[in-house]
């Protein structure tokens, strides 16, 4: 009785008086984030009777998310979508007791509601931390480079100089009612430049920047893929984790570097990264599931090295990542950083 009164109050607030002519399902339907939800009035008692309809869907939903190794974007529900008898969408965030309503104008002229409830389940982020190293000069195989962190330090590392640039430690537990998959995705906004002499002994320099060959203005890029899958840790996205079980990873790290050429006078880096943990539920049809964000962290690598007689004194910034453990933001990017090349800035 209390639920019916609540429904009636909500309908009255929306100007809907003819409650008894509508259809209300008081038993929630259980779904998970990233699972396609389809509602079709043509499969209800309203089939063939609808003149116009307007859907109201609470919290964070998308029509779909499309991410390739070249670009990624979300597609939101449009006014046209919200005015169709059949609607398809994906929830991004979890929550119980969500009321989805269609306000229907029948061919008879009556205005009635169609109401259904959902309990939306999602994975649980049990922990998400990171350790960081420091930028240093690295010499290996006859090459000199500036690197964030170390690739050769002892395990476990004894001091910051021995650590990887950044090393992630996280655990995700699947929803109790659904198996699923987890992957990580990283994006980057590169800002790297160097001043390069044309040959030894000359003092004039040309400025080079690290950019995509076809999209040269600075923009957000994908940083890492496995074949056709946008993914930072190769193969992780193929591993299915059973319902209610956890997946733990503490071996994912990143130690970006840039070569310090003999003809360079200055090399500077100020890269901005965003690291995402993503979830996709297991569904009978793969097209009925999308990757949705679980959490994200932002971090950066900022340092400058100057060539002083073959030595490379460093100006380096300390970095601590910032965590967003309840994000609904997707990885959005416009190209793949794997394709970047050094390009000369026109005079």
Q: Is residue 66 part of a domain?
A: no
Domain boundary residue among 104, 121, 138? 121
Alpha-carbon gap, residue 167 to 237, rounded angstroms: 19
The domain of 298 spans 124-344
Least confident of 11-20, 130-139, 290-299: 11-20
In this prediction, residue 12 carries a pLDDT of: 55
Instruction: Let me know: does 82 contact 113? Beta carbons within 8 Å.
Output: no
Answer yes or no: is pLDDT of 11 > 60: no
Q: Is residue 268 part of a domain?
A: yes
Instruction: Detail the DSSP E strand segments found in 76-165.
Output: 86-91, 95-106, 111-121, 124-132, 135-140, 143-148
pTM of the entire structure? 0.91
Render pLDDT for 305-319 as a digit per residue (tens, 0 to 9): 999 999 999 999 999
- Within this chain, do residues 294 and 160 fall inside the same structural domain, yes or no? yes
The residue-averaged pLDDT of 74-87 equals 97
Instruction: Let me know: does 107 contact 49? Beta carbons within 8 Å.
Output: yes
In this prediction, residue 18 carries a pLDDT of: 39
User: Per-residue confidence at 8, pLDDT binned at 50, 70, 90?
Assistant: low
- Within this chain, do residues 128 and 232 fall inside the same structural domain, yes or no? yes
What is the number of domains present in the chain? Answer: 2
Measured CA angle at 315 (ends 309, 321), to 5 deg: 145
Residue 336: which H helix or E strand, with range? strand 335-336
Q: Which residues pair with 193 in a beta bridge?
A: 209, 268
In this prediction, residue 141 carries a pLDDT of: 84
- Within this chain, do residues 156 and 219 fall inside the same structural domain, yes or no? yes
Alpha-carbon gap, residue 33 to 87, rounded angstroms: 17
- Within this chain, do residues 205 and 327 fall inside the same structural domain, yes or no? yes
- Within this chain, do residues 256 and 303 fall inside the same structural domain, yes or no? yes
Q: Is residue 148 part of a domain?
A: yes
Instruction: Let me know: does 145 contact 56? Beta carbons within 8 Å.
Output: no
In this prediction, residue 6 carries a pLDDT of: 53
Alpha-carbon gap, residue 59 to 307, rounded angstroms: 54
- Within this chain, do residues 117 and 192 fall inside the same structural domain, yes or no? no
Alpha-carbon gap, residue 183 to 170, rounded angstroms: 12
Torsion sign, CA atoms 76, 77, 79, 80:
positive
Q: What is the CATH number of the domain that holds 57?
A: 2.60.40.10
Alpha-carbon gap, residue 104 to 339, rounded angstroms: 51
How large is the C-alpha radius of gyration of the chain? 26
Look at strands 23-24 and 111-121 and give their pairing.
parallel
Residue 230: which H helix or E strand, with range? strand 229-230
Of 161 and 262, the one with more pLDDT: 262
Which single residue is written with the structure tokens 């965003």? 274
Domain boundary residue among 69, 104, 121? 121
Q: Is residue 54 part of a domain?
A: yes
In this prediction, residue 154 carries a pLDDT of: 83
Q: Is residue 201 part of a domain?
A: yes
In this prediction, residue 10 carries a pLDDT of: 54
Q: Which residues pair with 314 in a beta bridge?
A: 305
Residues 6+ apart with CB under 8 A from 158: none
Q: Is residue 72 part of a domain?
A: no
- Within this chain, do residues 130 and 99 fall inside the same structural domain, yes or no? no
Residues 6+ apart with CB under 8 A from 19: 7, 8, 11, 113
Answer yes or no: is pLDDT of 3 > 90: no
The residue-averaged pLDDT of 16-30 equals 63
- Within this chain, do residues 238 and 255 fall inside the same structural domain, yes or no? yes
> To the nearest whole number, what is the mean pLDDT of the chain?
92
Answer yes or no: is pLDDT of 246 > 70: yes
What are the tokens at 246? 């956890």
- Within this chain, do residues 162 and 199 fall inside the same structural domain, yes or no? yes
Q: Is residue 68 part of a domain?
A: no
| Element counts in the chain: helices (H) and strands (E) | 1, 29
Q: Is residue 70 part of a domain?
A: no
- Within this chain, do residues 326 and 255 fall inside the same structural domain, yes or no? yes
In this prediction, residue 13 carries a pLDDT of: 54
Closest-CA residue to 264 (of 341, 202, 338): 202
Render pLDDT for 41-61 as a digit per residue (tens, 0 to 9): 999 889 999 999 999 999 999
- Within this chain, do residues 205 and 104 fall inside the same structural domain, yes or no? no
Least confident of 41-45, 134-138, 286-290: 41-45
- Within this chain, do residues 131 and 217 fall inside the same structural domain, yes or no? yes
């Amino acid at each position: 009785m209390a639920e019916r009164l609540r429904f009636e109050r909500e309908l009255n607030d929306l100007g809907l008086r003819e409650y008894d002519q509508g259809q209300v399902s008081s038993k929630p339907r259980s779904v998970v984030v990233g699972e396609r939800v389809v509602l079709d009035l043509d499969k209800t008692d309203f089939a063939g009777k609808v003149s116009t309809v307007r859907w109201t869907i609470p919290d964070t939903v998308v029509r779909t998310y499309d991410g390739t190794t070249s670009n990624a974007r979300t597609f939101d529900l449009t006014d046209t979508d919200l005015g169709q008898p059949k609607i398809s969408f994906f929830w991004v965030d979890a929550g119980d007791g969500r009321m989805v309503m269609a306000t229907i104008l029948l061919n008879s002229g009556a205005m009635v509601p169609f109401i259904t409830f959902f309990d939306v389940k999602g994975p649980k982020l049990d922990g998400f931390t990171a350790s960081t190293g420091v930028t240093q000069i690295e010499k290996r195989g006859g090459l000199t480079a500036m690197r964030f962190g170390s690739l050769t330090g002892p395990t476990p590392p004894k001091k910051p100089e021995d650590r990887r640039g950044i090393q992630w430690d996280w655990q995700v537990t699947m929803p109790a009612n659904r198996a699923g998959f987890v992957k990580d995705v990283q994006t980057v906004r590169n800002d790297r430049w160097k001043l390069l002499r044309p040959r030894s002994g000359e003092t004039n320099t040309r400025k080079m920047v690290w950019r995509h060959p076809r999209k040269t203005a600075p923009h957000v890029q994908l940083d890492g893929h496995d074949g056709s899958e946008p993914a930072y840790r190769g193969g992780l996205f193929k591993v299915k984790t059973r319902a209610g079980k956890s997946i733990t990873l503490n071996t994912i790290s990143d130690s970006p570097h840039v070569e310090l050429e003999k003809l360079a006078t200055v090399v500077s880096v100020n890269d901005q990264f965003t690291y995402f943990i993503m979830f996709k539920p297991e569904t009978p049809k793969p097209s009925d599931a999308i990757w949705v964000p679980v959490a994200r962290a932002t971090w950066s690598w900022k340092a400058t090295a100057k060539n002083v007689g073959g030595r490379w004194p460093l100006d380096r910034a300390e970095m601590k990542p910032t965590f967003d453990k309840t994000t609904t933001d997707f990885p959005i990017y416009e190209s793949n950083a794997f394709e970047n090349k050094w390009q000369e800035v026109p005079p």
